[in-house]
Amino acid sequence: MAKMTTPLTPEMLNQTKTHAQLSVTISVLNAFKLLEWIALSCTLLAFASMMLTATGHLKIMGFLVVALGLAVFYFAFKLRVDVALFKQWQSLDVAALDDALLKINPQFQVGRSLEARLAASRELFHYGFYLLLLQLCALTVLAWFYEPIVFVF
């Protein structure tokens, strides 16, 4: 017996496309958690090197690594908010969400489409990734020139 299939309406296709876009973007943004751990490790290493070195230029380089780590954490925070909102997207009232976000940030752009919001989140992901690469480069330079304090007993 042949299986009967129902034809997909444009509305059903649009919902399927929206769900796929949300799922892929949420998965990509969740991958940023690994980058957060790498940034945390770099930040802690740089902070320890700042405490253990007496050289001024190395302290400045350590401060740069820590500052880049804090910038990565800022983007990670924004991405986590986006993930939480995208997970609830199907049940959100977009106008109420825009009003709430406008109260938090007066420069928020209201009325953006889902595609524009997803693109903005992917852009945040890229900025955070590039900052992590800069942090890794700065940490490499710091490690290259690092001169630990030698304790003589």
Angle (CA) 12-90-9 rounded to 5° is 5
The pLDDT value recorded for residue 8 is 44
Neighbours of 80 (CB within 10 A): 15
**pTM for the model:** 0.77
**pLDDT tens for the 153 residues of the chain, in order:** 555 555 544 444 467 777 788 888 888 888 899 999 999 999 999 998 888 876 788 889 999 999 999 999 999 999 998 898 888 888 878 888 888 888 888 888 888 888 888 999 999 999 999 999 999 999 999 888 876 655 555
Q: Where are the domains of the chain?
A: 25-145
